[in-house]
Structure 1
Amino acid sequence: MTPHWTERCEEIRAWLAALPQVFIGSDFDGTLAPLQPNANDVRLPDLTRVLLQRLAACPGVVLAFISGRGLADLRRRVDLPGVLYAGNHGLEMTAPDGTTVLAPAPASAGSAVRQVQAQLTAALAHLPGVWIEDKHITLSVHYRQADEVRHPEVELIVRDVVCSHPDLEVRPARRIWEVRPAIAWDKGSVLRRFLDESGIPSNAAAFMGDDVSDFDAFRELPDGWTFAVGTDHRSDARLHLTDPQDTADLLRWIVEQRAAS
């Protein structure tokens, strides 16, 4: 079993004290904010927001949020200035000057996404609890609220529709099927880009996440600190966090340690 973060406090404390600059990255849903039956109802807890504000204000800390949500949606929910954001699993991100940058994708991917959206809307209409989130350059097919016996049917329909569009692919998330451009770009890719742009090595970085899509980010930090949130420890993370409240406890502890170093 992956150790709980409190079992490595001394090592993390020494790491924070030794580095003039550190990178702290995090997923949003299920990591900082508790999951809800409807993704539109997910909110960042007030205490966590205060802790993130304090962390962002610490000298030598680069703070980043990398989420499957659309970039505009993520920025609205976090609402912190002076930090880095990446939405759509890294397909859209903020540049160092704050402008939005899109990962390169086939020119036909946009029209293919619109076609798939129409096809899936019709093909999934008979399944209560399934809904499609339009994230402009991607789609999220949410099935958390659907009857569990229908989950395999949702996957079958999504894959069947998308397979006729070679510029698109299907990737799993937590009770979500992501429809996105078929390019070699993920949360790990944008994490690497953020590190390179910030001039921070991977051994001076930490990342926390709860979803299978976060595993790509974990693999980019073999010598950094990685934290898997939740009870499923089947990832490359070094340590685990129990839930978003535990994430808040870790953030509070990091702020205290960073302030003391």
Structure 2
Amino acid sequence: MTRAHDDRGADSLEPIAKADRLLVALDFDGVLAPLVDEPMSARATARGGAAVDRLAALPRTTVALVSGRSLADLRIIAEHDDASRIWLAGSHGAEHWRPEGTPAHVDPVAADTASASLAEAVTADARRLVADVPGVRIEPKAYGFALHTRLAGPDETASAQAAIESLVAQAAPGWRRRTGKDVVEFAWRHEGKDTAVAELRKATGASAVLFAGDDVTDEDALRSLCPGDLGVHVGEGETAASLLVPDPDAFAELLSALADLRAS
């Protein structure tokens, strides 16, 4: 694994910067934005946001945010509007937004009212189960819910997780379970960030992909990258990425360097 502050880190960008058609696919939380206690207060760093805008404006270059957030929440925290050039894949790739004039996304799963109704009921039950547990929060998602324990102590976390795991095992045993930093998510849609990146690669005609993530849920995408792609992990921990940077500020520097190389 190469660290970006090594000389080899800068060298890793040169081949990807020269790609004929480049897709830059990025997780948001922990990558462009520092992790925060209040999820909806997350915002990209100024330098990271500027680098994203520069890359998105370059010819034959597509920038996409690939997040576990619902599409609606991702648009808020990314300060994203309908005039944006930046593509979005929310809910781990189950939801998509594309700029006007690009190929439309066709959802392979038709509206499933039974699953949606079950998700609403199970989410309500989950909220009741942890309503009195300090520091624990249930976040409704587009296709399920997430249990957040960032502000909870070890005992409260263990108690809440046990209660929620039991609930889902009984009420929705077929749901996909994902773990992250102080969060466990359950959803009836099973898409992952690997499928999101594959679909974005096909839709954009990308000849190379840079994907960056910081959490366990990003590893599916990192493991799916092809020869000639570049995987970046932000933070510490085991990863399939070939390049490691310590934090969003350092990643913003990396993106800025990529924009410089790509523009030249």
TM-score, reference length from structure 2: 0.89
Which moved further from structure 2: 89-98 or 21-30?
89-98
Partner SS, residue 15 of structure 1: helix
Matches within 5 A, 1:85-164: 85-95=88-98, 97=100, 102=107, 104=109, 107-164=113-170
| Structure 1 equivalent of residue 72 of structure 2 | 72
Contact 1:95 1:101 in 2 (8 A): no
Distance in 1 (CA, whole Å) between partners of 2:174 and 2:55 is 40
Classify 1:72/1:182 alpha carbon distance in 2 versus 1 (closer, same or farther; 3 Å).
closer
| 1:20-65 CA distance string (max 9 Å, x none) | 2111110000110001112122122222222211111111211110
SS of 2:166's partner is: helix
Q: 1:236-251 alignment to 2 at 5 Å?
A: 236-251=240-255
User: Which residue identity lines up with residue 89 of structure 1 in the other structure?
Assistant: H
Q: In structure 2, which of residues 232, 239, 245 is the aligned counterpart of residue 227 of structure 1?
A: 232
Residue 109 of structure 1 contacts residue 167 of structure 1 at CA under 8 Å; is this kept in 2?
no
Question: Superposition pairs for residues 165-180 of structure 1, below 5 Å?
Answer: 165-180=172-187
1: CA distance, partners of 2:105 / 2:135: 33
Q: What CA distance in whole angstroms lies between the structure 2 residues aligned with 1:236 and 1:109?
A: 33
Whether the 8 Å contact between 1:162 and 1:169 is mirrored in structure 2 is no
Asked whether the 8 Å contact 1:163–1:169 carries over to 2, the reply is: no
2:256 aligned with 1:252: yes
Distance in 2 of aligned mates of 1:56 and 1:238? 23
Query: What SS does the aligned partner of 2:252 have?
Result: helix
Aligned AA for 2:38? N
What is the DSSP-based 3-state SS (H/G/I as helix, E as strand, rest coil) of the residue aligned with 2:187? strand
| CA displacement, residues 214-258 of structure 1 (integer Å, 9 cap, x when unaligned) | 0011012142100111011x1211111100001100011011111
SS in 1 for 2:178: strand
Check 1:193–1:39 CA distance in 2 against 1; reply closer, same or farther (3 A cut).
Answer: same
Q: 2:193 aligns with which of 160, 165, 187?
A: 187
In the other structure, the counterpart of 1:3 is: 2
On the 8 A contact 2:235/2:246 being kept in 1, the answer is yes
Q: Which amino acid aligns with 1:14?
A: P
* Residues matched between the structures, number: 254
The ranges of structure 1 where at least 4 consecutive aligned residues each deviate by more than 4 angstroms after the TM superposition are 95-103
Question: Which residue identity lines up with residue 117 of structure 1 in the other structure?
Answer: T
- Structure 1 Cα separation of the partners of residues 259 and 98 of structure 2: 25
| CA contact 1:112–1:168 (8 Å) conserved in 2 | no
- The answer on whether the counterparts of 1:227 and 1:237 sit within 8 Å (CA) in structure 2 is yes
Say if 1:24 and 1:64, in contact at 8 Å, map to a contact too.
Answer: yes
How far does residue 136 in structure 1 lie from its aligned partner after superposition?
2.9
**Mapping of residues 40-51 of structure 1, within 5 Å:** 40-51=40-51
Cα distance in 2 for residues equivalent to 1:172 and 1:14: 33
Asked if structure 2 preserves the Cα contact closer than 8 Å seen for 1:188 and 1:216, the reply is yes
**Contact 1:162/1:170 (<8 A) preserved:** no
Aligned residue for 1:177, secondary structure, equals strand
Instruction: Provide the C-alpha distance between the structure 2 equivalents of 1:45 and 1:110, rounded to a whole number of angstroms.
Output: 35
RMSD over equivalenced CA pairs, Å: 1.9
Query: Secondary structure in 2 aligned to 1:163?
Result: helix
Change (3 A) 1:102 1:14: closer
Partner of 2:35: 35
CA distance, structure 1, for counterparts of residue 134 and residue 143 of structure 2: 25
Would you say the 8 A contact 2:40–2:77 is kept in 1? no
CA–CA distance in structure 2, aligned partners of residues 175 and 8 of structure 1:
30
Give 1:84 deviation, angstroms. 1.0
What is the match of residue 221 of structure 2?
A: 217
